[in-house]
Structure 1
Amino acid sequence: MSKTTFTESPFKTLISFHKLIENLEEIAATNVDYRSNYAKALLKEIAPFPEFRDGIEDLNFIKQHEKLIHNLLADLFPTALTHNEIKAISIPFQNITFNYTERFKEILQNAGMTFDMEIRDFEDDQFYIFNSILILNAHYGQHFDFNKPLFYDIPNKNGIMNHYRILYNADFIEIIPTQDAPKLSQDDIDLLMNNYDNINLWKEKFPIESWILKGFGIINLIDVTRENAISNLKSNLLKPESSKTKSSLSFESIFRSIFKISDLKIGFTIYNEEEQKFINPSHDEKEMNSFILNNLEETDCKNTIYGCSLDAILQDKKSIIISDIKEFSKIPGNEKLAAYLTNQDIQSCIFAPVIKNDTILGIIELVSAKPKELNSINATNLDLVLPYLVDTLERYKIDMQHQIEAIIQREYTAIHSSVYWKFKREALKYYQTNSPNKDYIFKEIIFKEVYPLYGQIDIKGSSEHRNETVKEDLKNQLTTLIQLLEKQKSNESLVLLEQRIFELQSFDKELDSSLKADTEQQIQNYIETEIHPILRNTKMDVDSETATKNYFESLDEKTGMFYEARKQFDNAMSVINKKLAAVLDKKQVEAQLIYPHYYERFKTDGVEHNLYIGASIAPTKPFNILYLQNLRLWQLQTLCEMEMEHHLLKATLPYELDVTSLILVFSSPISIRFRMDEKRFDVDGTYNARYEVVKKRIDKANIKGTKERITQKEKITIVYSHNSEENEYLKYIKYLQFKKLLEPNIEQFEVEELQGVSGLRAFRVKVINNNLENYAQNITYQDILNEQN
């Protein structure tokens, strides 16, 4: 017998059979046929126990008189139905149950001794309020509908969770107020009606044990395992990915409940009709594996593993049902697939296509380690769930397509989020007005009166470094080839070998001077057409053959040349660019919080970026020059952090490279226009072109009157034109010096005249790389103002 777990109730519960006894007394009074004698015998048997009529509080009494209670309830629990009905005596909403039918007993026995039967998702407050509503309906004549479905979740002996809907019969229950029960007015009832969640109010109107619940109820359980599993499946499929938690029922447990197979496993495979491929669905935490693919990410549908076995799915769009893998393997042509499945411990399986509009979206896979567990009969259960899988998979494919398009936009044809609204608005106009008979002329996307910010962190001397590594690899390869040819022992080709050695030595001497544009290509063509054929076709002794084999193994697969020094240089460049770009992108997320602005960056021999800020980019937000000043300070601080990041990275690089940093200050607002042909933004108008000219030429400029570059390693150079810009950036520099990010010394100089541009000046200040305590501090323009005040 199960006992209640709720500690508080508006009821004092008395389990009583008084209504049943009164019914028996009426039957006994008729003195007609056997029923009268049966009723008299029962009444005589219970007569010594007034508790049956007056009410039982001690549950041990029920246990002691279990047989007598069973006889008393015989009319309500017919013996003929005891193996079919799931039925017991209970008190509504409580976990007090007894006098089970045989089928109910069997269910509880299979659940195990440790199982505690409780109503699903039913808490103390809900229990209290439901009991109070019983009183309102029964005693006060209200008609509140509170028929929330109630369930028991009970595992079977195979570990599968079965679900049962609870139905109550309260015909034998009486609700009686005590002296402590307050009398409720209509206003009280209305107040309760509008405050369902106010447990204190309900307890005030229905104090603890202020009413008596006398009698007994009957519960009938209906097995709704399959319906509940399908409902859970729908809920899981409809949930957005972001809201799914680990507490959600897994697809595996849901399908096990539907098919009632304890070792059932679920898999899924995406079908790409365009490329005729099977694809593993990609998730951070895969809930379902693909048994068709096993550990493969994707494979061709015509993979020889499958033979012709999957043709029924792809061509006929029908399910493949294999009830016994061993028997299946005996059919010619099925051997490979049978072995493939057996290696995954699969002995029976169902592979069913998920189809929408006659197009296969994917394949749902049900597998078991036991033969004949899955078969053509229980495969019909899939009909219950496939409609929901179709909608979900279609939504998954649409979402995946959107994500792919977003990746393409971000990585290949970027439209920054700050300006996306304007493109979207123009696309919406096209969508609303376009028709087959009407051409729509797209308006140009222009943002006027925006302030530009340009910065770069460049690999110092990258071209020279690249040329030196090319020469190093070429000289090493030429030296190796000369040594190989000198080892050749073939007399018939001796003259030719001497000529080839002479030509290789000539190339080697040519590399001692500056590398010409076509030298690398010439040497590569010569080696491939003249030297490699000799090495491949000449007879050699063992030592020469081994040396030649080692030589060919040393060649780069793509270029067919030595690639060691260049590889170290390229790897170092790649690591620097990737790391510095990551720092910039991460800091950009913070910068967008200052004020929405357009941002783009490029990885060349270093990382450069463009920012544009102004009211036209974010027309719904008031613009103030303070936002520009904040962004300028953010830019300077970010370059400091990128310099520090490079300093930390430098010691780990396979090839030592230094960087230089540059900021171009331009205080006049400009216009930018989206170039449809180039799919990128560019400055608009002749006047604004001056900004682009300076941007392209400034990093190679020298200090006026010298041959010294304006940029130097570990220093940030700030180029400007006006006194106001000088004063503004001096504030930033002095503040970052105060914060120990920049060294005290500030160099100031004029920049040499560029073509069509003169009057530029610059600061140059070194970043403090040996004190990283203040690394990644967030400093705003307001901090400077506060410091000065």
Structure 2
Amino acid sequence: MNTLIFNESPFKTLISFHKLIESLEEITLSDVDYRSNYAKAVLKEIELIPEFRTGIADLSIIENNKTLIKYLLADLFPTSLTNNEIKAVTIPFQNLTFNYSQRFKKILDAAGDFDLTIRDFNDDQFYILSCILILNSYYGQQFDYNKPLFYDIPNSNGIINHYRILYNADFIEIYPTEKAVPLSSEDIDELMDNYSTIDLWKEKFPLESWILKGFGIVTLYDATKESAISNLKTNLLKSEKDQNDINKNSDAIFKSIFKVPDLRIGLLIYNEEEGKFIKPPFKNGELESFILLNENEIPCEKAFLGCSFSTLLEDKKPFSISNVEHFSTIPGNEMFAKHLLAQGIKSCILAPVIKDNKLLGIMELVSSQPRQLNSINANNLDLILPYIVDTLERYNTDLENQLEAIIQREYTAIHSSVYWKFRNEAQKYFQTNTSNKDYIFKEIVFKEVYPLYGQIDIKGSSEHRNATVKTDLKNQLNVLSAILENLEVNSTLHLLEQRKFEMQSYAKELQLELKADTEQQIQNYIQKEIHPILSNSQIEGECQLLINSYFEDLDPKTGLFYQARKKFDDAMSIINKKMATVLDKEQVEAQHIFPHYFERFKTDGVEHNLYIGASIAPSQPFDLMYLNNLRLWQLQTLCKMELEHHQLKSALPYELDVTSLILVFSSPISIRFRMDEKRFDVDGTYNARYEVVKKRIDKSNIKGTTERITQKEKITIVYSHNYEETEYLKYIKFLQFKRILEPTIEQFDVEELQGVSGLKALRVKVLNTVDQNSPDKRYTYQELLDELN
């Protein structure tokens, strides 16, 4: 007897056989003697237990009278069908069952210590469905609540079998108690529209406010395959974030379908372009491949280790091996059989996953027992493979979409703030005529946008690069000269003295300014004239050790020393990466000010462009305050980048300083997406002036001097108009007050550039005392105004 019943119910449940007793009383009046005598005998037995008629609340009465109940229910549970039918007495939706048929009893005995509960059925569902039972039986409603209910019961091998539940409520009566709430048609309509509102149902149907008197009959039928396939479909439709659940449940589902307790499943993905099998897409290694094992990919012709699998790959039909050990005795199969046996596989099925006669992958089913998997139960795959096909096809589509998204994110200039306009144009293409190959795409232009440009540049990067190249070349020539001196002692080659002289000439040339082709000349000379001598020398001892050590120190790509240059390149890379990381992180917050177009470039430093205006986000009202906010954000971000570099500098493999620059341009411009270059650029001749200034300004000097306008650890702000100076002085003084910038402000004119004159600049140093600074604190333009007021 199973007594796992729900605690809360609108019913006060009385298990009663009164309807059945009334039926027996009618039989006693019949003319058929054996029927009449049987009914009289049963009625006589149950007279001693009046609760059978009035209602049983104490379940121990049922437990103590199991045999009598069996006789009483004999007509409903015929002995001839007891080994075929899966039946028991129950109360609908309750987990209360007793008086099992013989087949039902065997199923429960095989399950062992198992609680018989309805799948995915909670307290609230039980309460609401009980209320619907009242609405249908007492109020004459016809609500359809026939959601399929299942018992999931394991067998003795641990395989889960799924049984569909069917109820017979012919022997049940439902009527209200004094606690019952009378329902109007409006109440019923309200319930109809609020299925999930449990509090409302409990208000209309208080606890135990109705009597359920009688008993029901539950009949089960084995729907294991249908249910498992349904579960498989549900699993395969889950999102990637639920992948762990998919892989964890898949084995159990396949075991239920094939009834093989130790069944394991694997999957191979077919890469048609490269003719390879690759590992499945699922994460965490939950669904592996028994053919690939520890490999990530393998050419198709090598996948089966010499076996001929024409049935699988050419005929595209499942291939089964019912006994791997026997399979290994067939010539040509030894290596593949050994591969399977090493994994404990004694029988298996390999099934191609086909879509439109195109191979998508191979499904692998394996067992550690021979004969468990064979060509007969391989037919079960016909029920499964269509869903695997859909899943792999969806995976391929999703993968293509992800690849496109990565390409768009990493390799194109379509920033998220302007993506909407590209999308609109693409939609117009589809709406107009998708078959028209001559469709001319409209150019993407954003008018009246305000540009902001800034950079943090490696100071003297060209000079540092040339200096490290010279250092490496000098060191290499010195080492080669030492080697040639050792060779000269042990050789009669007069050519060695000539080569030493030539290298000394190159060393003297390196004392001068490095020319564009000097490095290439020396590289060619060493590789063509010196290396052959070293490679062909037949000498032992210390000199040979020097030669071996020399070749080990060479850079494999250039054949030159790369020690000093590597330190410089590494330092440059570290600075650029750190600066770009800070800028990208801050830019995420900046987008909340107002959506704007953003792009950055890594050169000998990090440059960035920003464009803000109403045309970029037409759905939002634009105000110049957003431009002011973004300018303040830009200045603070450069301060933070300067401070990050100052903290990083001591740890660099090569000491490098940086300079920072902001170009102020207050006139709105237009930017156009260049279809041929796949990037945004300024539009029109007037707007081109902005680009000219950007390209020339960072190398310019203070007017009347040879001093560069940019200096290390200082931010230079270049502008044209007095109102721009007034605006940025407010920002600077505010950040000085917040102890982010030092007190001194330099003001000067910028030398005239080709085609550009009248530029001015402000320059201020970032305060590098970390304990006095708060680099993570971000101030808004409104906070600045509040401070000034």
Under a length normalisation based on structure 1, what TM-score does the superposition of the two structures give? 0.94
How far does residue 42 in structure 1 lie from its aligned partner after superposition? 2.2
Q: Deviations over 1:581-638 (max 9, x none)?
A: 1222222222222222211111111111111111222222222111111111111111
CA distance in 2, matches of 1:546, 1:324: 61
8 Å contact from structure 2 (residues 319, 375) kept in 1: no
Match of 1:57 in 2: 57
Q: State the shift of 1:573 in Å.
A: 1.8
Distance, in Å, in 2 between the alignment partners of 1:45 and 1:446 is 95
Letter in 1 for 2:44: K
The residue type equivalent to 1:106 in the other structure is: K
> What is the rounded CA distance, in whole Å, between the counterparts of 1:619 and 1:426 in structure 2?
16
Q: Confirm or deny that 1:784 pairs with 2:784.
A: yes
Give the Cα separation in 2 of the matches to 1:330 and 1:775: 74
Task: Report the alpha carbon displacement of residue 453 of structure 1 after superposing the two structures with TM.
Answer: 0.7
Distance 1:22 1:434 in 2: 76
The answer on whether the counterparts of 2:236 and 2:246 sit within 8 Å (CA) in structure 1 is: no
Percent of counterpart pairs with the same letter? 70
> Partner residue of 2:21?
21
> Aligned partners of 2:369, 2:730: CA distance in 1, in Å?
77
CA contact (8 A) 2:14 2:214 kept: yes
Deviation by residue 1:701-746 (Cα, 9 ceiling, x = unmatched): 1222222221122221111111111111111122222333222222
**Counterpart position of 1:424:** 423
Q: 2:344, 2:547 → 1: CA distance?
A: 49
Q: Does 1:630 align with 2:629?
A: yes
Contact 2:149-2:165 within 8 A present in 1 as well: yes
1:490-522 alpha-carbon deviations (Å, 9 max, x no partner):
866521222223322332332232222111111
1:105 aligns with 2:101: no
Question: What's the secondary structure of 1:782's corresponding residue?
Answer: helix
1:7 pairs with 2:41: no
Instruction: Choose 303-312 or 6-15, whichever is displaced more.
Output: 303-312
Of 767-776 and 592-601, the range deviating more from structure 2: 767-776
**Which stretch of the first structure deviates more once superposed, 317-326 or 442-451?**
317-326
Paired letter, 2:512: S
Partner in structure 2 of residue 40 of structure 1: 40
Q: Which digits, 9 at most, give the CA deviation of each residue in 1:663-698, with x for residues without a partner?
A: 111111112222222222222222222111110111
CA distance in 2, matches of 1:127, 1:551: 82
Q: CA deviation at 1:545?
A: 3.3
Deviation at 1:329, TM superposition (A): 3.2
Distance change >3 Å, CA 92–CA 561, structure 1 → 2:
same
| Equivalence for 1:734 | 733
C-alpha separation in 2, matches of 1:244 and 1:569: 45
Q: 1:37: how far off?
A: 2.9
For 1:149, the equivalent position in structure 2 comes to 148
Change (3 A) 1:181 1:399: closer
- Quick one: distance in 1 between partners of 2:285 and 2:201? 46
Task: Report the number of matched residues.
Answer: 788
Partner SS for 2:512: coil
Summarize the Cα distance change of 1:621–1:310 in structure 2 as closer, same or farther, 3 Å threshold: farther
Q: Tell me how far apart the structure 2 counterparts of residues 253 and 448 of structure 1 sit (CA, whole Å).
A: 60
Q: What letter matches 2:785 in structure 1?
A: L
| Distance in 2 between residues matched to 1:336 and 1:124, nearest whole Å | 57
Give the Cα–Cα distance (whole angstroms) in 2 for the partners of residues 329 and 501 of structure 1: 69
Q: In structure 1, what is the Cα distance between the partners aligned to 2:481 and 2:331?
A: 60
What is residue 458 of structure 1 aligned with on the other side? Answer: 457
1:219 maps onto 2:181 in alignment:
no
C-alpha separation between the residues in 1 aligned to 2:477 and 2:303? Answer: 46
Aligned counterpart, 1:559: 558
Show the 5 A alignment for 1:298-309: 298-303=297-302, 306-309=305-308
| Structural mapping, 1:416-495, within 5 Å | 416-434=415-433, 439-488=438-487, 493-495=492-494
SS in 2 for 1:717: strand
Contact 1:305 1:340 in 2 (8 A): no
2:71 match: secondary structure: helix
8 Å Cα contact 1:718/1:764 also seen in 2: yes
Q: Distance in 1 between matches of 2:691 and 2:160?
A: 70
Q: Kindly tell me: are residues 330 and 563 of structure 1, through their superposed partners in 2, closer, same or farther at Cα, counting changes over 3 Å?
A: farther
Counterpart AA for 1:215: G
Following superposition of structure 1 onto structure 2, how do residues 303-452 of structure 1 map, counting pairs within 5 Å?
303=302, 306-309=305-308, 311-434=310-433, 439-452=438-451
The one-letter amino acid paired with 1:553 is E
Closer, same or farther in 2 for the Cα pair 1:285/1:633, shift >3 Å? Answer: farther
Residue 74 of structure 1 is matched in structure 2 by: 74
Give, in angstroms, the shift of residue 345 of structure 1. 4.0
Q: Cα distance 1:379–1:475, how it changes in 2: closer, same or farther (>3 A)?
A: farther
Report the 3-state secondary structure (helix = DSSP H, G, I; strand = E; otherwise coil) of the residue aligned with 1:239: coil
Gaps of at least 5 residues in structure 2 are none
2:533 match: 534
| Range 590-599 or range 188-197, more displaced | 188-197
CA shift, 1:2, in A, is 1.5
Gaps of 5+ in 1: none
Distance 2:133 2:426 in 1: 59
CA distance in 2, matches of 1:315, 1:475: 64
The whole-number CA distance in structure 1 between the counterparts of 2:282 and 2:574 is 28
State how far apart, in whole Å, the 1-side matches of 2:765 and 2:308 are: 70
Look up the match of 1:90. Answer: 90
C-alpha displacement of 1:183: 4.0
Q: Confirm or deny: 8 A CA contact 2:247 2:286 kept in the other structure.
A: no
1:294 is matched by which residue type in structure 2?
L
Whether contact under 8 Å (1:166, 1:220) holds in the other structure is: yes
8 Å contact from structure 2 (residues 258, 380) kept in 1: yes
Aligned equivalents of 1:133 and 1:638: distance in 2?
63
C-alpha distance 455-309 of structure 1, shift in aligned 2 (>3 A)? farther
Partner of 1:586: 585
Distance in 2, matches of 1:270 and 1:259, equals: 23
Letter in 2 for 1:62: I
CA contact (8 A) 1:232 1:249 kept: no
Residue by residue, what CA displacement relative to the aligned partner does 1:28-83 show, whole Å, maximum 9, x if unpaired? 33353433333333223223222222221111111111222222222222233323
Q: Which amino acid is 1:264 matched to?
A: L
Report what 2:514 is aligned to.
515
CA change 1:31–1:422 in 2 (3 A) is: closer
How many angstroms apart in 2 are the aligned matches of 1:548 and 1:491?
14
Structure 1 residues 325 and 762, CA, compared in 2 at 3 Å: closer, same or farther? farther
8 Å Cα contact 2:243/2:283 also seen in 1: no
Q: Deviations over 1:130-151 (max 9, x none)?
A: 2222222222222222222222
Deviation at 1:8, TM superposition (A): 2.4
The answer as to whether partners of 1:450 and 1:612 remain within 8 angstroms in 2 is: yes
The 8 Å contact of residues 740 and 771 in structure 1, kept in 2 or not, is answered as: no
Specify the code of the residue in structure 2 equivalent to 1:129. Answer: I
Q: 1:265 to 1:637 in 2, by over 3 A?
A: farther
CA contact (8 A) 2:247 2:287 kept: no
Match of 1:139 in 2: 138
| Contact residue 31 and residue 37 of structure 1 kept, 8 A | no
Q: Is the 8 A contact 1:665 1:720 kept in 2?
A: yes
Preserved contact between residue 82 and residue 102 of structure 2 (Cα < 8 Å): yes
CA–CA distance in 2 between the matches of 1:616 and 1:638? 25
Counterpart in the other structure of 1:653 = 652
Worse-superposed segment, 500-509 or 431-440: 431-440
The equivalent residue for 1:572 is 571
Q: Residue by residue, what CA displacement relative to the aligned partner does 1:73-130 show, whole Å, maximum 9, x if unpaired?
A: 22222233323322111111111111122322232233332x3222223232332222
**Distance of aligned partners of 1:458 and 1:128 in 2 relative to their CA distance in 1, 3 Å threshold:** same
- For 1:198 and 1:601, how far apart are their aligned partners in 2? 53
Distance 1:730 1:313 in 2: 77
Cα shift at 1:159: 3.1
Q: State how far apart, in whole Å, the 2-side matches of 1:18 and 1:424 are.
A: 71
Distance verdict in 2 for CA 1:299–1:695, change over 3 Å: farther
Structure 1 residues 247 and 376 mapped into 2: Cα distance closer, same or farther (>3 Å)? closer
After TM superposition, list the pairs within 5 Å mapping 1:763-774 onto structure 2: 763-771=762-770, 774=774
Structure 1: distance between partners of 2:309 and 2:488: 60
